[in-house]
Structure 1
Amino acid sequence: MGGVKLFATKESLFSSRIQWALKLKGVEYEFILEDLANKSPLLLKYNPIYKKVPVLVHGDNVVVESLVILEYIEETWKEHPLLPRDSYDRATARFWAKFNDEKLVPPVWTACTGEGEAQEKAKESALESLALLEKQIQGKKFFGGEQIGYLDLVLGWISYWISGVEEAGGNKVLEAEMFPSLHQWGQNFIHNPLIEECIPAREAFVAYVQNAINCKIFLKS
């Protein structure tokens, strides 16, 4: 069908999950770095509706939106299955993935970077959501079992992204002792060699987040 190209940024949590999936699947791909302040004509061509990363191009196929891209990768390359075999378990993984993107990422962002009452409400919401995930991971090495799976990739940002946003935004949200099982899972995840390959340098990541805060573009792009 042709080669694989990934239009992304190194610091984007939504881009990272796609890099991790491709690495775990053993898929060779070309990483095309995007400047979100000056988006390339190709990015705008391939994703004219949302105009954001990540975008996966596989031959003539263009796939956008990270959760959709993960599904495409899973169905296209059979090595290292990401989703469980059982249909109920697959549905459950997809539920928590959507929960993450809709109920966890936005309040964490506001809790770390906001001010006043909005920041306090967002922190409360974020901690409630993290507590629910803490229950899901108790007694497990990964959300996907003994191997990293679909939900681990979706939630993998917790293991490094939150602390960087806390530093850039100046607000502390997550303490390791509050969610010990989630913390241990994060350590197991981030220290996998294939995962580590795609972790951005701390200084560059914090600078990226700080710029996103100033430009109000992070969650949009």
Structure 2
Amino acid sequence: MGEVKVIGSTKSLFCTRIEWALKLKGVEYEYLNEDLKNKSPTLLKYNPVHKKVPVLLHDGKSIAESLVILEYIDEVWTQNPLLPQDPYQRTISRFWAKFSDEKVLLGSFGACKAQGEEKQKAVESAHESQAFLEKEIEGKKYSGGESIGYLDLTIGWIPLWISVMEEVDEMKLIETEKFPFLHKWSQNFMETPLIRECLPSGEALLEHFHTTISFLRSLEANKQ
């Protein structure tokens, strides 16, 4: 169904979820790895609004923003559906995907970045968001049941990226005893060969996070 390309970065969790979706659907694609420090004319052409990855190119048409791309992929390639068929359950999946990106992901990253007196508050805030997600996936192998779906791809950053954040800042963001269902879900998700083959190198990701966190902390320090 036409030529498919992904403009992305192998260190970006938002790009990895797109690769997972395409592989689950059995869609062949070309990956255009972007240097985010020196953005290419191709990226600027196909995502002139935000100028960021990921971008999906399908027969020359561009789609930006990872959650939007996931829904596009699910509508175009109907095999192995990602979103539930029931309209209410689809809405619920979208709600938790948005919550995960805006609260769980940003909260976890904020806890990693925070220092001094703000550190404990940031960690507690991250745990509060994670607790909601823990309850949502309680007792489920995957978010939608027995097969990987839309929400699983959205929160698929948790197993690797959280462990990198914890190592960078020498803290614990998701404790097994406190979040047993998230821990079990992470194990199920990572046991899938298709999921593992798209993951970036842990070493490269660790270096990337170290650089990013140091840079953001220096910006905060300069504001004071």
TM-score bracket, shorter-length normalisation: over 0.9
1:41 aligns with 2:28: no
Contact 2:165 / 2:209 at 8 angstroms: preserved in 1?
yes
Are the structure 2 counterparts of residues 44 and 215 from structure 1 closer, same or farther at C-alpha, using a change threshold of 3 Å?
farther
Q: TM-score, normalised by structure 1?
A: 0.94
Q: Give the TM-score normalised by structure 2.
A: 0.92
Larger Rg: 2
What aligned pairs does 1:36-185 form with structure 2 within 5 A after superposition?
36-185=36-185
Structure 2 stretches of 5 or more lacking a match? 217-224
CA shift digits 1:35-70 (9 cap, x unpaired): 111111111111111111111001121000000000
1:5 aligned onto 2:5? yes
Whole-Å Cα distance in 2 between the matches of residues 61 and 215 of structure 1? 35
Distance in 2, Cα, partners of 1:114 & 1:38:
28
Q: 1:105-151 deviations in whole A, cap 9, x for unaligned?
A: 11100111221233322211110111111111111100011000000
Percent identity over paired residues: 57
After TM superposition, the structure 1 stretch with the greater mean CA deviation from structure 2, 111-120 or 35-44, is: 111-120
State the match for 2:23 in structure 1. Answer: 23
Deviation at 1:203, TM superposition (A): 0.6
Looking at structure 2, the residues matched to 87 and 143 of structure 1 have their Cα atoms a distance apart, in angstroms, of 16
Q: Is the 8 A contact 1:16 1:198 kept in 2?
A: yes
Q: Over the residues paired in the alignment, what is the CA RMSD in angstroms? A: 1.2
4+ residue runs over 6 A deviation: none
**Deviation (angstroms), 1:186:** 0.5
Q: Distance in 1 between matches of 2:124 and 2:96?
A: 19
User: Residue by residue, what CA displacement relative to the aligned partner does 1:140-180 show, whole Å, maximum 9, x if unpaired?
Assistant: 10001100000000011111111112212333322122101
Q: Is the 8 A contact 1:111 1:171 kept in 2?
A: no
Q: Using the alignment, how far apart are the partners of 1:161 and 1:3 within structure 2?
A: 30
Contact 2:107 2:129 survives alignment (8 Å): no
Structure 1 gaps of 5+ residues are 217-221
Corresponding residue number in structure 2 for 1:219: none
